[in-house]
Amino acid sequence: MTLSGTRCRVCGATRFPAALVCVCGSEQFDVDPITRGCVEAMTRPVGGDRPLLAVVRTEQGHRIVARACGVIEEGAAVVIERRSTMICVAHAGSTQDEGV
Amino acid sequence: MSTAIVGVGRAAYTRHPAGDVTTLGLLAKAARSAVADAGLRWSDVDGLAVASMSLLPDHAIDVAWHMGLSLRWIEDCSVGGASGVHMLDAAVTAIETGRANAVVVVAGDHFSKESFAGHASSFNSATRDHLAPLEFGGTNALFAMITSRQMTEFGLERSDYGRLVVAQRLWASRNPDAVYRNAMTLDDYLRARPVAPPLTIFDCPPVVSGAEAFVVVAEADTTDRHVRVLGASLSYNTDNQSGTGLNTGHAAAAGELASATGVSAADCDVLSLYDDYPAVVLAQLVELNLVPDDDLAAFCRTRFADNGFALNTSGGQLSAGQAGVGGSLLGVTEVVTQLRGRAGARQIEGARLGLVTGYGMVLYRYGAACGLALLEAA
């Protein structure tokens, strides 16, 4: 599934999570697909089988928190998708899902 | 009209609360001791502000009732770690506008293991919808990533954070109310158990049950040594969660406060900077223009040794303990204690001006509520 934010029809500002009212005051939005970005930081909490988490700077300039599906590193270009309720990122161009 | 803080109180912090401890009980204890410290009668109190994350289903008005307070002004505060500064500012306004004559501000928490874990995943709708499904485990992971970003931007090493943490532990060793007072070396810090790299257990405040409170009145109503409130400035949702998290929002608020009072952080003798994580303390130092050339590495390596810098002199939440949102008042009560000359073994001699910050409400990736207050010995 595609992760989506909002794009304001009046001023063009993009937001994730979706905005209810734009900073410009508009309530008119288009759905804005969020599909590509770059890994800014990562951490894997300690204890048991914990996921690798990343802050990803999206093409639109948002920063989102995602779970790594596969090997990523700081600075990596990634593709972003929503799997059920989870936001996942994987190396752009990778064909294999090496598990979450 | 100027206002003053005339009393502080607390419910002692504990890591192992007895079975009959309740949040209501802790708040009542802290409020009662603050009013006693202020030398006021219980019936003098006509304003109340409460912040607590473990009070539901009760609210401030329940607290008033259970404490036998009939009031003209009341506030429920929900801005997390900024609550102390927010409530101080609100209490000042209440007194200045004649809504109340004596306001008690109180905050504290008592979590069971279950309630604390549930708290992290359902903190707000954005956390519930976008973070909890990742099994992110709480704010430690978020601030771990902010810390690593800060390390890159400022050329910091783990030992730089360690110098701050060790300094706060050294302050705590001189504070009988701190929960962690035993000596910590830089080596102890560097070998601490990791929590979410680069953060370790010593980068996260110990959760305690407890509460803090203070009393605000008009300065004209004071009869003794007190602490004058020079001003406060707050900012909420400064950047719509669009930044890295390193710009905490304090810079603009500090500028506004300096314009209003003529006093800035650099003029202060003692500082309490909100310390949910060391990175947040360091970020505030930069935002408050306390770091020459923004060279945080040099600052950490030269200023913290031997408690040479009067920052978080209670030990801060990192060593004194974090009583939930009570931690948002810890900085206020410590600066007040210093300015009243009652800080005992950790007293900053001649402390005349103090600054307190608040920071809290991690809406998605970092805190969205921040503020600061300036206090003066009088």
Mutate to test the interface with B, among A43, A57, A84 (most CBs of B within 10 A): A43
Q: Which chain B residues are within 8 Å of A21, Cβ to Cβ?
A: none
- The whole-angstrom separation of Cα A67 and Cα B131 is 9
Q: Which chain B residues are within 8 Å of A55, Cβ to Cβ?
A: 145, 149, 365
* pLDDT at residue B149 tops 90: yes
Q: Do B131 and A55 touch (CB under 8 A)?
A: no
- Average pLDDT (B76-103) is 98
Mutate to test the interface with A, among B125, B135, B149, B247 (most CBs of A within 10 A): B135
pLDDT digits 0-9 by tens, A12-33: 999 999 999 999 999 999 999 9
CB environment B53-82: b (16+ within 10 A), e (fewer): bbbeebebeebbeebebebebbbebebbbb
| Percent of chain B surpassing pLDDT 90 | 96
- Any CB–CB contact under 8 A between B148 and chain A? yes
- Any CB–CB contact under 8 A between B120 and chain A? no
Q: Do A17 and B365 touch (CB under 8 A)?
A: no
Q: Which chain A residues are within 8 Å of B364, Cβ to Cβ?
A: 17, 65
Of A53, A63, A87, the CB nearest to B141: A53
Q: Which chain A residues are within 8 Å of B142, Cβ to Cβ?
A: 65
Specify whether the CB–CB gap between B128 and B351 falls below 8 A. no
Selection from B329, B336, B373, B334 nearest residue B81 by Cα: B329
- Helix axes B296-303 and B158-172, enclosed angle (nearest 10): 40
Residue B122, pLDDT score:
79
Token pair listed for B180: 């962690």
Q: Which chain B residues are within 8 Å of A85, Cβ to Cβ?
A: 129, 133
- Chain B, residues 238-297, CB within 8 A of chain A, namely 240-244
Contacts for A29 with CB less than 8 Å, ≥ 6 apart: A6, A7, A8, A9, A18, A19, A22
Residue B112, pLDDT score:
81
Q: Do A40 and B149 touch (CB under 8 A)?
A: yes
Q: Which chain B residues are within 8 Å of A38, Cβ to Cβ?
A: none
Distance between B134 CA and the closest CA of chain A, angstroms: 6
Selection from B79, B78, B80, B69 nearest residue B104 by Cα: B69
Closest residue in B to A19 (Cα) is B240
- The whole-angstrom separation of Cα B312 and Cα B234 is 20
Residue A61, sorted as left (phi over 0), alpha (psi -120 to 50) or beta, turns out to be left
Token pair listed for B212: 């803090």
- Average pLDDT (B299-324) is 97
Residue B121, pLDDT score:
77
* pLDDT at residue B378 tops 70: yes
- Average pLDDT (B126-147) is 96
Q: Which chain A residues are within 8 Å of B244, Cβ to Cβ?
A: 40, 63
- Average pLDDT (B122-139) is 94
SS3 B10: strand
- Any CB–CB contact under 8 A between B365 and chain A? yes
- Chain A, residues 51-90, CB within 8 A of chain B, namely 51, 53-55, 61-67, 84-87
- The whole-angstrom separation of Cα B239 and Cα B351 is 35
- Average pLDDT (B19-38) is 97
B115 vs B108, residue with greater confidence: B108
Q: Which chain B residues are within 8 Å of A50, Cβ to Cβ?
A: 135, 137
- Any CB–CB contact under 8 A between A9 and chain B? no
Mean pLDDT of chain B: 96
SS3 B94: helix
Closest residue in A to B132 (Cα) is A86
Distance between A83 CA and the closest CA of chain B, angstroms: 10
Distance between A15 CA and the closest CA of chain B, angstroms: 9
- The whole-angstrom separation of Cα B114 and Cα B20 is 16
Q: Residue A39: phi, psi to the nearest 5?
A: -75, 125
The pTM assigned to this predicted structure is 0.96
Q: Give the CA dihedral B27, B31, B33, B35, nearest 10 degrees.
A: 180
pLDDT digits 0-9 by tens, B12-22: 999 999 999 99
Q: Could you please report the per-residue DSSP string of B95-147? A: HHTTS-SEEEEEEEE---HHHHHHHHHTSSHHIIIIIGGGT--SHHHHHHHHH
pLDDT digits 0-9 by tens, B329-343: 999 999 999 999 999
Residue B116, pLDDT score:
67
Of the listed ranges A81-85, B296-300, B311-315, the one predicted with least confidence: A81-85
- pLDDT-flagged residues of chain A (< 70): 94-100
Selection from A63, A69, A64, A65 nearest residue B141 by Cα: A65
Of A43, A46, A51, the CB nearest to B135: A51
From the number of C-beta atoms within 10 Å of its C-beta (0-12, 13-18, 19+), residue A49 rates as exposed
* pLDDT at residue B123 tops 80: yes
- Any CB–CB contact under 8 A between B197 and chain A? yes
Q: Do A46 and B197 touch (CB under 8 A)?
A: yes
- Average pLDDT (B5-18) is 96
Complex ipTM more than 0.95, yes or no? no
Of A41, A62, A87, the CB nearest to B134: A87
Specify whether the CB–CB gap between A95 and A69 falls below 8 A. no
| Percent of chain B surpassing pLDDT 70 | 98
Closest residue in B to A23 (Cα) is B240
Q: Which chain B residues are within 8 Å of A46, Cβ to Cβ?
A: 193-197
Residue B114, pLDDT score:
67
* pLDDT at residue B344 tops 90: yes
Q: Catalogue the E-assigned strands of B250-366.
A: 270-272, 353-362
